[in-house]
Amino acid sequence: MNREAVRVLVLSGHGINCEEETAAAYRLAGAEPEIVHLNALVGGHSTLAGYRVLHLPGGFSFGDDLGAGKALANRIRYKQLSNGRTLFDDLLAFIDAGNFIFGICNGFQVLAHLGLVPNTGGRYEQEVTLAPNDSGRFEDRWCTCAAASDARTPFVQDLDIVTLPVRHGEGKLLIRDENIRRAILAGSYVAMTYCDADGHAAKAYPGNPNGSDLACAGLSDDTGRVLGMMPHPEAYLSAYNHPAWPHHRRARGGGFIEVGEGLRIFRNVVNAARDRPAEAGVGSRVSGGEEGPPTR
């Protein structure tokens, strides 16, 4: 196994506010994270070249003024770089090169608006959105989630039922039409669902904190290397982050584990990136290379 360092670009700026704890998560998972401002990417001062993981953290990018994640998605898709490409062109090349993208909360919303998840049709068109919660309010609490046993993505492998915090006002997954819904189910794009204590899908509030279709808490693309998730695993890196940690410690006695359940997800991401080398030559399409944008 190749144990070389996995470099992670953690995006920041314009209302993103979870970059520091996200970088800490990757550091604890054995990677080398670097926090890079969006302006550095669109201004040509930094590129995706050399990174194995791009992380879009949680927050309120551009104040969510056009809907959660919409303005940031538009900037990525349409802002032209000095070389005539867009950052979206670079994201497609980044994925083609065998790299990984992980978006949490606001980052999930951005991935959905860009059509990077679930992308069942392979055309990078928006197939889902994340709408205001059914409760009509911002949900800031812990919830129970179940990793799908048949998930396409390695990000949730070896996970079963986990508790993670949610912090969002627009987290209700809506699917564009029935054909896409069927494709999501048939292709096992749902990576994680909101559930009860026994692992059964939570279709109603409060188990389902937003009213998401399919009780979906996490959704991947067809490659399994791009994942969007509404709960915040970066907020559960230590068992002591959980508000009920004293109870867990007493209940488990000598078997108490101090690692938070969220850190296991980041370890999966880093291990997946480490175990699958980037494809030689393909990555040259990222800004600074000679090749043009990928043909679709």
| pLDDT tier, 291 (very low <50, low <70, confident <90, very high otherwise) | very low
Using alpha carbons, list the distances in angstroms from residue 273 to 35, 72, 124, 139, 251.
18, 25, 23, 32, 35
Q: pLDDT (tens digit, 9 = 90+) per residue, 27-78?
A: 999 999 999 999 999 999 999 999 999 999 999 999 998 889 999 999 999 9
Q: pLDDT (tens digit, 9 = 90+) per residue, 65-101?
A: 888 999 999 999 999 998 999 999 999 999 999 999 9
CB 230 within 8 A of CB 168: yes
Q: Is the pTM of this model over 0.85?
A: yes
| pLDDT tier, 292 (very low <50, low <70, confident <90, very high otherwise) | very low
Domain ranges of the chain: 7-138+166-185+220-285
User: Catalytic: 143?
Assistant: no
Q: Which of 55, 113, 168, 232 is catalytic?
A: 232
Query: In the predicted model, is pLDDT for residue 10 greater than 70?
Result: yes
Q: pLDDT (tens digit, 9 = 90+) per residue, 118-173?
A: 999 999 999 999 999 999 999 999 999 999 999 999 999 999 999 999 999 999 99
| pLDDT tier, 296 (very low <50, low <70, confident <90, very high otherwise) | very low
Nearest Cα neighbor of 268 from 227, 240, 231 is: 227
CB 33 within 8 A of CB 27: yes
Using alpha carbons, list the distances in angstroms from residue 280 to 4, 9, 94, 99, 287.
16, 20, 12, 12, 16
Round to whole Å and give the CA distance between 80 and 82: 7
Determine which helix (DSSP H) or strand (DSSP E) holds 261, and give its type and residue range. helix 261-275
pLDDT reported for residue 179: 98
Round to whole Å and give the CA distance between 113 and 46: 24
Cross-sheet strand order for the sheet of 32-37: 32-37, 7-12, 53-56, 100-104, 226-229, 216-220, 190-194, 139-147, 161-168
Tokens of 241: 């982050």
Per DSSP, the three-state class of 134 is coil
Q: Which of 19, 139, 234, 261 is catalytic?
A: 234
Give bridge partners of residue 220 from the DSSP assignment.
227
User: Catalytic: 145?
Assistant: no
Round to whole Å and give the CA distance between 178 and 120: 12
Round to whole Å and give the CA distance between 11 and 229: 16
Nearest Cα neighbor of 143 from 133, 152, 151 is: 133
Q: Which of 105, 145, 195, 216 is catalytic?
A: 105
CATH architecture for residues 7-138+166-185+220-285: 3-Layer(aba) Sandwich (3.40)
